[in-house]
Chain A
Amino acid sequence: MDFLASLLRRFPQGRVLVDTASKLAYECDGFPLHRRLPLAIVVPRSTEDVRDIVKLCNEHGIAFVARGAGTGLSGGATPGDRPTVVIALAGMREFVRFDPDDRVAVVQPGLVNLDLSVAILDSGLCFAPDPSSQKACTLGGNVAENSGGPHCFKYGMTTDHVVGVTIVTADGTIRRLQEGDGADLLGLVTGHEGTFGILTELELRLVPAPEKIRTWLAAYRDMSAACRAVSRIVGSGVVPAALEILDELTIRAVEASVYAAGYPQDAGAVLLIELDGSRLAVDTDTAVIEAILAEEPPLTLEATEDAEQRTRLWKGRKGAFGAMGRLAPDLYVLDGVVPRSKLERVLREICEIGRTHEVTLSNVFHAGDGNLHPNLSFDGRDPIQRARALEAGREILALCVREGGSISGEHGVGSEKLEHMEFMFAPHDIEIFRGVKACFDPKALCNPHKAIPTGTSCKEGASAKAPGVLGAR
Chain B
Amino acid sequence: MTAPPDLQRAYKASLDCVHCGLCLPSCPTYATTTNETDSPRGRIYLMRALAEGRIDIDDKSLRGPLDRCLGCRACESACPSGVRYGELLEETREAIGRVDDHTWRRRALRSWLDRFIAHPRGHRLSMSLLATTQRLRLDRASRALPLPGPMRRSLELMPKLAPSRERRPLETGIHEPKGPVRATVGLFTGCMMETVFGRVNRALLSILLENGCRVHVPAGQGCCGALHVHAGLRERARPLVDANIAAFGKDLDAIILDSAGCGSAMKEYGHWHEGAAAFANKVRDMSEFLDELGFVPGTKRVEYSACYDDPCHLCHGQGIRSAPRSLLAAIPGLTLKPLSRPEDCCGSAGIYNLVQADLADSILGRKIDDITRSGADVCITANPGCMLQIEMGLRRRGSKVRVLHIAEVLAASY
A and B form one complex: yes
Closest to A323 in B: B80
Interface pair B65/A381, CB less than 8 Å apart = no
Interface size of B by Cβ–Cβ distance < 8 Å? Answer: 37
Provide the bound-state CA to CA distance between A184 and B355, in Å. 53
Residues of A within 8 A of B20 (CB): 30, 71, 133, 321-322, 325
Most central of B24, B33, B81 by chain A CB within 10 Å: B81
Residues of A within 8 A of B99 (CB): none
Residues of A within 8 A of B375 (CB): none
Q: Which of A17-25, A223-231, A421-429, A459-467 contacts B (4 or more CB under 8 A)?
A: A17-25
A277 within 8 A of B: no
Q: Which of B41-49, B217-225, B281-289 contacts A (4 or more CB under 8 A)?
A: B41-49
Closest to A257 in B: B80
Count of A-B residue pairs with CB < 8 Å:
116
Main secondary structure of the interface of A (DSSP, over half): loop
Q: Which of B18, B24, B59, B62 contacts A321 (CB 8 A)?
A: B18
Least Cβ distance of A238 to chain B in Å? 31
Residues of B within 8 A of A445 (CB): none
Interface pair A93/B59, CB less than 8 Å apart = no
Contacts of A235-258 to chain B: CB distance below 8 A? 254, 256-258
Interface pair B17/A136, CB less than 8 Å apart = no
Interface pair A259/B80, CB less than 8 Å apart = yes
Most central of B33, B36, B49 by chain A CB within 10 Å: B36
13 further A-B pairs in the complex, CB-CB below 8 A; given A323-B81, A326-B16, A330-B18: A19-B60, A20-B59, A21-B46, A22-B35, A22-B37, A24-B55, A43-B35, A70-B36, A71-B21, A88-B35, A88-B36, A259-B80, A325-B16
A339 within 8 A of B: no
Residues of A within 8 A of B65 (CB): 21, 25
Contacts of A298-357 to chain B: CB distance below 8 A? 319-326, 329-331
* Nearest 4 interchain pairs by C-beta: A325-B81, A322-B80, A19-B61, A319-B80
Asked, given contacts A43-B35, A135-B22, whether A24 binds B46 with beta carbons under 8 Å apart, the answer is yes
Asked, given contacts A322-B80, A381-B1, whether A21 binds B18 with beta carbons under 8 Å apart, the answer is no
Most central of A91, A319, A322, A329 by chain B CB within 10 Å: A322
Interface pair A21/B59, CB less than 8 Å apart = yes
Interface pair B36/A136, CB less than 8 Å apart = no
Interface, chain A (partner B; CB < 8 A): 17, 19-22, 24-26, 28-30, 32, 43, 69-71, 88, 90-91, 93, 110, 112, 114, 133, 135-137, 254, 256-259, 319-326, 329-331, 381
Closest to A24 in B: B49
Residues of A within 8 A of B17 (CB): 325
Residues of B within 8 A of A24 (CB): 45-46, 49, 54-55
Residues of B within 8 A of A29 (CB): 19
**Per-position 1/0 for B5-44, Cβ under 8 A of A:** 0000000000111111111110000000111110100100
Most central of B16, B19, B82 by chain A CB within 10 Å: B19
Residues of A within 8 A of B46 (CB): 21, 24-25
Interface pair B34/A322, CB less than 8 Å apart = no
Asked, given contacts A24-B45, A322-B79, A381-B1, whether A88 binds B34 with beta carbons under 8 Å apart, the answer is yes
22 A-B interface contacts by CB (under 8 A) = A19-B61, A20-B59, A21-B37, A21-B62, A22-B61, A26-B36, A32-B18, A69-B24, A71-B24, A88-B34, A114-B25, A133-B22, A256-B82, A257-B80, A320-B80, A322-B80, A323-B80, A324-B18, A325-B20, A325-B83, A326-B81, A331-B18
B64 within 8 A of A: yes
Least Cβ distance of B350 to chain A in Å? 23
B78 within 8 A of A: yes
Residues of B within 8 A of A133 (CB): 20-22
Interface pair A21/B64, CB less than 8 Å apart = yes
Residues of B within 8 A of A319 (CB): 22, 80
B305 within 8 A of A: no
Interface pair B18/A325, CB less than 8 Å apart = yes
B77 within 8 A of A: yes
Provide the bound-state CA to CA distance between A160 and B77, in Å. 34
Least Cβ distance of B182 to chain A in Å? 33
Least Cβ distance of A287 to chain B in Å? 36
Residues of B within 8 A of A91 (CB): 33-34
Interface pair A30/B19, CB less than 8 Å apart = yes
Residues of B within 8 A of A322 (CB): 18, 20, 22, 79-81
